[in-house]
Every structure is written in C-alpha cells, then in structure tokens.
C-alpha cells in the first residue's frame, strides 16, 4: 500500500508512535510518505520505502498568522495525487484530521484515498474540548473512514466527549522490544551512576501535565532512606522550574538533566525505577519503553496508565500527587532485591507479550485493508 503518515515531528509520543509505525510498515513492504513540517525525530537514517515531504507554510504580510492547517491540506493533496496514496493516516486530530479531510474532499473524484485518524490524548482530553475546536474535531472524526484510539481509556473518553455512536477501534501503542532491551554499558553506567546511588529516571517533554516537579519530590523523599539519583531525559516548558526546585529541596547534586537524547534504550538500561507521576496520560508510551528495558514503573492512577503498568506486578500505581506513597513504593522495591528482580522480569514480559511491535502493527494493516483501498483500486486508474 501507499500510505501518507501525518504527525507532529518533534514533540511527544504521537510523533514517536507514528514514526515507528511508518518504519515498520516500510519494512513490511509498504511505501510510507511522511508529511509534516520537519523531519520526524526518530527518522534519522535512510530506510527503503520511506519518503519525507516537508510542509512549507507560505508567508505574506497580510498573513499575520501561520496557515499550517491549509498548507498541510495542500501538501497532502499534492502527495496523494503524485504518489497515488491509498491511505492518509493522521496522528493527533488537531489540526491534522481537518487538513486531511479537506484534501480528501478535493481529491474525491480524481485520486480518492481513505482517511484514518489516530487519537493520542490531549487532542481529545484537553485541546479538543476547547469550545472553538470541539465541533471541528467531532466533524473530522465523523468524516474519517476509521478512527483509532491508543487505549481503551481514550476510546471511552472520545465516545463520552464526541458521541457514543462514533465507531472507534482501540489499538494500543507498541514498542520494538528487540530495540528496547536492557543492555550493559559500563562506561555509560560509570558516567550516570555516582557510587552506590540507585537511579530513578523520567523521560518526557516537561509539559505541566507530566508533573516533573513530583519526580523531584519523590527523589527527595527516597533520599531520606537510601542514596538515590534522579535522571531526567527530555526538555520542555517546566525544566527551569524543575531546576529551581532541586535547589529549593537541596537535592541539586543528585539530579542530572540530560536534555533531549536519542540513545534511549541504552540510557533506560541504567535505570532502576522509571517515574511517571502524570496528571494526564492516555497511554504512557515512555513507561512502556522503560518496561521493555526491564525497568519497573512507579506512576499515577491516571487515564490509560493502568492498562500499561500492572500494580504490584510491573510497578506501582498511586493517586495523583501522592508523592509520599510513590516514594514509599520506590523504597519498597529498592530495599528488596528479589522483588526488584521479579518486577523487572514482569515488566519486560508484559511489554513483549502484550505490546510488541510485531503484534500491533498488523492491526493497522488489517484496518487499512478493511477500508477497501490499495493496489486493487489503483490498478484501474
């Protein structure tokens, strides 16, 4: 099949997921055309069957505001026509689903394609609920040929917020468990771990919903019992406040900010516990990637997290903001080597058995095939 993949390239899990999906579809022989405003973060090597089309937004003195939504529609139209796309698969509804719908309408007679929209989280739970956007999102979901959500939680939330008659398929996020696997890297270990400190880790884009400050409070609490270090991977709006809080709590010597990094499996392999104290999380892809590297997760009982992290088995789940309890769970694991080892094994097993890329990507292939598009339609043109 010829698939157009539309996503946010640089920021967050929806772009990561779209890129990994596109790469796996390309390995399976499909042609995948990424259509977005910058090179997707994890699309950093040449791969057969992968193409990238950059969306450029024209500027003109009259156009005070960026017209990305329209520029994207125009680009989708162009790629659909010249690359004869069978499917355009958009990730994160706003504004991608609207742009793709507009392109689909214009292309309806000359080069029809199917539109698949995958919902990731705040496109439904936060931004999509804005009164200005809500009717647009609802309309674009109704007009998509298929809508998927990355968890059962998000599936339910979407039906509650946008209509119980909407047909939505829950297809969980996935991880390449052959890439995300625990490895030993002694020099990295030496650089990241100081002495006998346990390592807590958090990976995110530091948006307020991630509550990175809670990670620091958890560290401070754990340190009253055990030597521990917190390693942050990623960057974003709350980083400065996080740095300030480390100083306020007197733990600045025990917190490392690595910033944005691409060698995630190696870095995750150094962690003893992954922290995800989020306020909103439709799935928690970063937790899954950690679990795949045999790292147990301590997280909040929020959104789709319990679908990923099994309480008292692959990690622990606590109420939002309950820093004391999350710290207690960390200590409980760290002082009990047998339990920590068992949780590590369970975490890895859960990732492999339930969320491996080889199990989930065929679900998308089946979905595309069910839309009656593909080579059999294009041969008559």
Interface positions with ligand GMT (CB under 6 A): 8, 12-15, 17, 92, 120-123, 150, 173, 209, 280-285
305 and 276 Cβ atoms separated by less than 8 Å:
yes
3-class SS shares of the chain: helix, strand, coil, % to 5: 45, 15, 40
Q: φ and ψ at 78, to 5 degrees?
A: -65, -50
To ligand GMT, the closest distance from the beta carbon of 285 in angstroms equals: 4
36 forms bridges with which residues in the sheet? 54
d(CA 371, CA 146): 8
To ligand GMT, the closest distance from the beta carbon of 68 in angstroms equals: 16
**Nearest to ligand GMT of 76, 150 (CB atom):** 150
d(CA 101, CA 59): 23
**Nearest to ligand GMT of 118, 246 (CB atom):** 118
Following DSSP, what letter does each residue of 265-323 receive, concatenated? HHHHTT-SEEEE--S--SS-HHHHHHHHTT--EEEES-TTHHHHSPBTTTEEEE-TT-H
To ligand GMT, the closest distance from the beta carbon of 323 in angstroms equals: 20
To ligand GMT, the closest distance from the beta carbon of 58 in angstroms equals: 26
**Nearest to ligand GMT of 4, 40 (CB atom):** 40
**Nearest to ligand GMT of 8, 316 (CB atom):** 8
d(CA 129, CA 121): 11
To ligand GMT, the closest distance from the beta carbon of 307 in angstroms equals: 11
d(CA 224, CA 321): 19
To ligand GMT, the closest distance from the beta carbon of 260 in angstroms equals: 14
To ligand GMT, the closest distance from the beta carbon of 175 in angstroms equals: 11
To ligand GMT, the closest distance from the beta carbon of 18 in angstroms equals: 9
**Nearest to ligand GMT of 171, 230 (CB atom):** 171
CA dist 213 to 146, 239, 333, Å?
38, 9, 22
To ligand GMT, the closest distance from the beta carbon of 14 in angstroms equals: 3
**Nearest to ligand GMT of 207, 254 (CB atom):** 207
**Nearest to ligand GMT of 94, 222 (CB atom):** 94
The two structure tokens encoding residue 234: 């990623």
* Helix or strand run (H / E) with residue 99: helix 96-107
Place of tokens 């002694």: 186
CA dist 78 to 21, 34, 276, Å?
22, 13, 41
**Nearest to ligand GMT of 111, 157 (CB atom):** 157
**Nearest to ligand GMT of 113, 355 (CB atom):** 355
d(CA 128, CA 92): 10
């Amino acid at each position: 099949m010829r698939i157009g993949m539309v996503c946010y390239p640089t920021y967050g899990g929806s772009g990561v997921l779209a890129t990994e999906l596109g790469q796996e579809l390309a390995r399976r022989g499909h042609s995948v055309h990424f259509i977005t405003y910058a090179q997707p973060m994890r699309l950093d090597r040449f791969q057969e069957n992968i193409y990238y089309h950059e969306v450029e937004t024209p500027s003109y003195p009259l156009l005070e505001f960026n017209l990305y939504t329209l520029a994207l529609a125009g680009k989708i139209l162009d790629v659909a026509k010249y690359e004869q796309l069978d499917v355009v698969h958009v990730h994160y509804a706003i504004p991608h689903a609207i742009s793709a719908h507009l392109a689909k309408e214009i292309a309806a007679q000359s080069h029809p394609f199917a539109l698949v929209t995958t919902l990731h989280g705040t496109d439904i739970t936060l931004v999509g609920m804005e009164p200005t956007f809500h009717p647009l999102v609802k309309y674009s979901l109704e007009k998509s040929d298929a809508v998927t959500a990355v968890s059962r939680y998000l599936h339910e939330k979407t039906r509650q917020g946008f209509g119980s008659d909407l047909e939505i398929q829950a297809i969980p996020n996935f991880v390449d468990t052959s890439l995300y696997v625990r490895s030993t890297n002694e020099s990295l270990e030496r650089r990241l771990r100081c002495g006998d400190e346990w390592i807590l880790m958090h990976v995110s884009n530091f948006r307020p919903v991630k509550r990175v400050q809670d990670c620091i409070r958890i560290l401070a609490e754990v340190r009253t019992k055990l030597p521990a270090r917190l390693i942050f991977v990623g960057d974003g709006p709350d980083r400065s406040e996080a740095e300030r809080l480390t100083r306020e709590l007197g733990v600045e010597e025990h917190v490392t900010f690595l910033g944005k990094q691409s060698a995630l499996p190696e870095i995750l392999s150094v962690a003893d516990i992954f922290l995800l104290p989020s306020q909103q999380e439709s799935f928690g892809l970063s937790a899954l990637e950690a679990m795949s590297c045999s790292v147990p997760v301590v997280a909040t009982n929020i959104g789709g997290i319990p679908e990923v992290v099994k309480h008292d088995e692959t990690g622990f789940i606590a109420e939002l903001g309950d820093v004391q309890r999350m710290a207690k769970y960390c200590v409980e694991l760290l002082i009990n080597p047998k339990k920590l080892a068992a949780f590590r094994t369970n975490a890895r097993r859960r990732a492999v058995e339930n969320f491996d890329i080889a199990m989930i990507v065929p679900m998308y292939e089946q979905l595309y095939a069910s839309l009656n598009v593909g080579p059999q339609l294009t041969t008559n043109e």
